[in-house]
Structure formats: C-alpha cells, structure tokens
Chain A
Amino acid sequence: MTSIVEAKDLRVHFSTSGGAETVKAVDGVSFAMNRGETFGVIGESGSGKSTLGRAVVCLLKPTAGAIRLDDADPYALSGAAFRKNRRDYQIVFQDPNAALNPRMRIRDSVREPLDILGEGTRAERNARAVAVLDRVGLRAEFAERYPHELSGGQKQRVNIARVLTLRPKLVVCDEVVAALDVSIQADMLNLFADLQREFGLTYLFITHDLGVVSHISDRVAVMYLGKFMEMGGADDIAERPLHPYTEALLSAEPVPLPSHLRSGQRIVLQGEIPSPISPPSGCRFRTRCPFAEDICASSEPEWRELEPGRYVACHFAGQVTKGRKS
C-alpha cells in the first residue's frame, strides 16, 4: 500500500527582514509515513518541527521539494479536490485556547468545522458534535459550557473533538500535551491511543518530551536545524541511538529514578541551537557535537539507511555513540 504522507527533500523557507534574510525552517527532509502509525518528531525549540507539521497539513506550501498526500500532489488538485484532501489531514496545537472562540459554547465550537462544510442539517451536526465530545470524555453538560469554564486538559479534549468531527485520516499533534500536568497528560495519551485504534488514525506526533514521544510512537525522527538527524523504530532509537545528537538529547532527559538506578554520566551539550538563517557548513550539528572532526565542517553527511529501517545523517554514525541502558 502507498504511504499516507511522503516528503521528498521538503523545504520550507521564510523570508524575513524585508526579504534580506531567509530562515530555512525545514531544509531538506525526506520520509514516508505508514497508515495507522504514530510517527514522532523530536528536537529542540526552533528545529522546525511545527513548520514541518504545518507543511504536512498544507497550511504552509513547500518552498522546494515535494509533499504527497495519499499518493497525490495536493497542490496539483483542483479547488474542490484540494479541500476534500485537506479535510483528511488535520492539526491540533499546543495552546488549548488557540482554536477556541471564548464567546462560543463548546458544542458550537466543535460543530463549527462541519458548519463550514455545510454537511447535513444543523440538528445532525449538533448530534455529531455532542457524540464526538462524549467520545473524548466530555459529558453532554460540557457542550453547553464556555471555554473559560473548562480546565486546560478539557479544552484540549475539545480541540481533538473539533478535528475528529471531520473524520480525518491523519492528525498532526503539535505539542498537544505539553501544557498539561502529568496525570492529565497520561489520560490524554491514553485517549490518543484509543482513538487511533477506533478510527484507524495516523498521527504525526510533535513533542520535545522524549518520554512522551517514545511512549506513544512506532517510529521517531530526530530533527535539528531544519533537517532530520536520525529516524527509526521508537525502541531502537531510545535504546541504541546512532547519531550523537540523539544520544545527547536522550542523556539530557532527567530521569525520575532513585540515584542508584540512574546511569550517572550525562552528556551536557554546550551552547545553543544556531540560527536557521545561516546554519553551520557541513554537518549542522558540528558546532555542538563532541565528536566533530574536520570532515564535519567541509562535507555534509549523507542521509543514509545504515541498518534496515534506520536512517541517519552522520559521518561517524553508529561508531561514536555508546547506546544506553536504564
């Protein structure tokens, strides 16, 4: 079967300072997503995760390269077909308030996407909204409330309900649990898993939380400064990273274990992510990489399949990382 999303050397650039500079937010990313999988994307702030997510749901048009949805170029479709295709690809954002109108009742907010499409009668649309709200765990009484009468976690459920009414095939989840307390976050992650089983959804799951991404994902991509550094099965990546950046990210994560069970040595990366306006030559990670050599500045490492299903861009992939346990 064909992939639900396929990106080939995808680039999304923004021009700033009145066109004088170019921010290369996504700068040559290639991957394919399988139907029904959860594909996690991790990386530091500014690495281009959200930009990639927006490009996948056609909120941003690629500057170069190609994106194919359901084996079709969405930008080659006619207006009506483009809208129909767009409907299958939805996005939920981190800020639970972003998509909710404070003056609209929850039911009306959830019904709104259907109203725009003009499907069925108003009564049918209402019934669907209430049914979907119920499915995400909000009883009928919540339908009558306003956003300010809901907690952050409840509002995030509303946002999910809003996109579910459209019966999408794929949902981009951009930091959807970042603003929530752990116990509420656990509920939400369970809900995402249930909905995936029930509706056969595919997720592009963007987060900076490594624990979250490895829990929910089948495969994970690690992004840095507009490019993927590594991609592979979630367990493989967590247990045996092949790229120095992945290893450093994993080792930076604080682990809630008693001291005798923590591995002890942590790789603390020096410095910060450079500007995507003028990324370093050669390997973009070289300014912070503990293993950088001359070749890393002069030549850009190739994106290669080092082991079946495991892609990595590093001249010394698999040779410098230690792998980790715990």
Chain B
Amino acid sequence: MTADKQPLLDVRGLGIFFRTEAGEVQATRDVSFQLRPGERLGIVGESGCGKTVTGLSILGLLPRAQSRVEGQVLFEGRDLLTLSPRQLRAVRGRRISMIFQEPMSALDPVFTIGQQIGETLRAHRGIGKKEARERAVEALAQVGIPLPSRRVDEYPHQLSGGMRQRAMIAIALVCEPQILIADEPTTALDVTIQAQIIDLLFDLSARTGTALLFITHDLGVIAETCTRMLTMYAGEVVEDSPVDAALERPRHPYTSGLLRSIPRLSKRKTVLPSIAGRVPSPADMPTGCRFRARCVHGLAECEARQDLLDVSLDRRARCMRQAELTLPGAIA
C-alpha cells in the first residue's frame, strides 16, 4: 500500500518542554512517527496526553518564550525545528496547514472570509486582488459553502459554526498544501455537520493527495477517516498501527481501554468498562510504564522504562507484554 512511499513528514524523538512556575515540565517524550503522501493518520488519546502540542510543534506554533522542543521534524529535506520564524511562515499555510476545533480563534473577526483567503493566496502566491477574490469564491464553493459569491464578503460572526469550520478549511487548503493538520475539527459540531466535514476532508484528501494528520479523542471519527492511528498516553506514543488492526486487536492496554469504554460497544444498560484513575500530569510522571497505575495487566517488570516494540512490520506498541496479551478491541 503506502508503506513503500517515502515519508513526507518524519517526526523523530519529539520532546516538548514547558517552563512553568513549578519549573520545567515535559509534555511529550520521544514522539516519533511518519506521515506518507496521501496518508490519513489519526492521533487519539484522552485530554492532556499531548496531541495538540504535538500538532502545534510541527509548525512552530508553540509559545516560543515558554517552550523548548527537542528532536527532529523532517519535511522536504529540512528539519522544521531549525527554521527561523520567517522560513516557517513560508511553510505554514502553503506546504503544511492547520485547522482547529474553534474556528473563531483562527479567523480574524475584522476581515471578511474572502479577504482572509485572499491574504493567504497573495502572501504565498503573489497574485492580484481581483484574481484572489475569484479564487476565494472557488475555494468556498469547493468546501460546500452555499452561495459562495455572497459568503465571500461576509464576516466570520455571520456564519454558523459548521460554515466557519468550512471557511477555515477553505483557507487552509487554498494553497494546496502537502499536509493538513486538523486538531479536533469536528468536536464542537453536531453529528450531522460532523459527517459533512469528515466527508469533505476525506474527499479533498483523496482528490488532492493532501496527507491528513487528524487529531481527535473520538475513535469513531478515526475509524471513519484514517488509515493509520497513533495512540498517545501521558505524552508518549503507546501504539502506532493501521486503524483496522488496532480496532480489531489493540496491542496496548490503553488503546483497548479507550475502545471498551465507548458506550456504543457495550450492551445497553450494562456496566461500562472504564479505565480507573487519571492521566498523570507532566509534573509528576511515573518512571517506567506511564500507564502502569491504570493497567490491569501490570507486572513488577513494568516498572522498567518501556520502549516502542515492533509488533509487525507496520505496527508498534509500548508495552513489554504486547505479544502475550490478548486484548479486547471493538469486538470484545
């Protein structure tokens, strides 16, 4: 399948640190993964596991004064982590774009949608005002906004939540980037609108070959959108696998626990399997397996630091018991 293609994005040993009042804390450790052309990779995990900061770090969007990033983010022969803010701006929006859960935070309230799309185009493509407007109308039509030639002159607050999300996608895609990073783009939307946006992203990625890095806490969204998935726990990648394989037979107890706690997969009115406890905070990370305190399969040896082990050619799991455990997946 895609496994033979060269990776488009090669993230190696990403460690993200924040300076806080209590000293420096580490939000992610040794995050490594690859994204291939046209691939749709999901990142899943509970809140606070490091999904958002991982996405932000790729584009140098973490607050510079309070953070430090180690590792490498290789893209088109360069390490994005070594680029100057100016060099990064040339990548952002043109080669790699990002969309967020709350489109209002990314859209500028004082400019029309058309001006914002035009701005992106003119900055990266150097085209004129008139052409930019035409392209903006096209872009809005492409993301399924009705009456695009009217909407193009409207301000963000005049659009509904679903329309704003589409407008943000239009801005993100207008320069036909290689990679789109989407951080919970449908979390605030109704299922009906979510289905529209998922279809839109899916079609655009299939048509233009844009690779998708899809961050979400919703395994249903991953199942319907992505080809591969990374499970993150407490700042680490704990499983990296093709989606169907992970849903059928997860190799990390955390992936299994996340799946089993979904109400839809249990019989009505039965006790839902949950994962006792909470994600540890970066300020007091346990040594050894970070999931140990919540894992029902833990052994004394799990107190040793766990590495991502190869499960097969295209799967890895950070659990020393991955080969011997048979963990329930979407079908128990």
Taking a contact as CB atoms closer than 8 A, the residue among A181, A208, A256 that contacts B265 in the complex is A256
Chain B positions within 8 Å of A258 at CB level: 223, 243-244, 247-248, 330
Chain B positions within 8 Å of A319 at CB level: none
- Chain B, residue nearest A208 (CB): B190
Within A226-268, the residues touching B (CB, 8 Å) are 234-235, 248-249, 252-262, 266, 268
Which residues from chain B sit less than 8 Å from chain A, CB to CB? 46-47, 146, 160-163, 190-196, 198-199, 217-225, 243-244, 247-248, 257-259, 261-266, 268-269, 271-275, 278, 330-331
Within A163-188, the residues touching B (CB, 8 Å) are 181-187
- B262 and A182 contact, CB distance less than 8 A: yes
- Chain B, residue nearest A248 (CB): B192
- A252 and B263 contact, CB distance less than 8 A: no
Taking a contact as CB atoms closer than 8 A, the residue among A182, A216, A249, A257 that contacts B191 in the complex is A249
- B261 and A186 contact, CB distance less than 8 A: yes
Question: A151: CB under 8 A from chain B?
Answer: yes
Q: How many A-B pairs with Cβ below 8 Å?
A: 132
Chain A positions within 8 Å of B258 at CB level: 182-183
- A254 and B223 contact, CB distance less than 8 A: yes
Q: A44-B192, A182-B258, A269-B192 are in contact. Are A215 and B269 (CB under 8 A)?
A: yes
Chain B positions within 8 Å of A186 at CB level: 261, 263, 272-275
- B269 and A181 contact, CB distance less than 8 A: no
- A215 and B266 contact, CB distance less than 8 A: yes
Q: A183-B257, A185-B261, A256-B330 are in contact. Are A190 and B220 (CB under 8 A)?
A: no
**Shortest Cβ distance from residue B85 to the other chain A in the assembled complex, whole angstroms:** 34
Q: A44-B192, A186-B273, A262-B223 are in contact. Are A212 and B263 (CB under 8 A)?
A: yes
Question: Which are the 8 A-B pairs with shortest beta-carbon distances?
Answer: A254-B220, A211-B264, A215-B263, A186-B274, A186-B272, A186-B261, A183-B275, A252-B195
- A215 and B191 contact, CB distance less than 8 A: no
Instruction: Give 18 CB contacts A-B under 8 Å.
Output: A182-B46, A182-B261, A183-B261, A184-B274, A184-B278, A190-B271, A211-B262, A215-B264, A234-B268, A253-B191, A253-B264, A254-B223, A256-B219, A256-B223, A262-B223, A262-B224, A272-B160, A273-B190
Tell me which of B161, B192, B195, B275 has the highest count of chain A C-beta atoms within 10 A of its own C-beta: B192
Q: Mark A38-80, 1 if CB is under 8 A from B, else 0.
A: 0000001100000000000000000000000000000000000
- Chain A, residue nearest B46 (CB): A181
- A255 and B264 contact, CB distance less than 8 A: yes
Taking a contact as CB atoms closer than 8 A, the residue among A151, A211, A215, A254 that contacts B194 in the complex is A254
- B199 and A268 contact, CB distance less than 8 A: yes
Taking a contact as CB atoms closer than 8 A, the residue among A182, A208, A259 that contacts B217 in the complex is A182
Question: A189: CB under 8 A from chain B?
Answer: yes
**Shortest Cβ distance from residue A260 to the other chain B in the assembled complex, whole angstroms:** 7
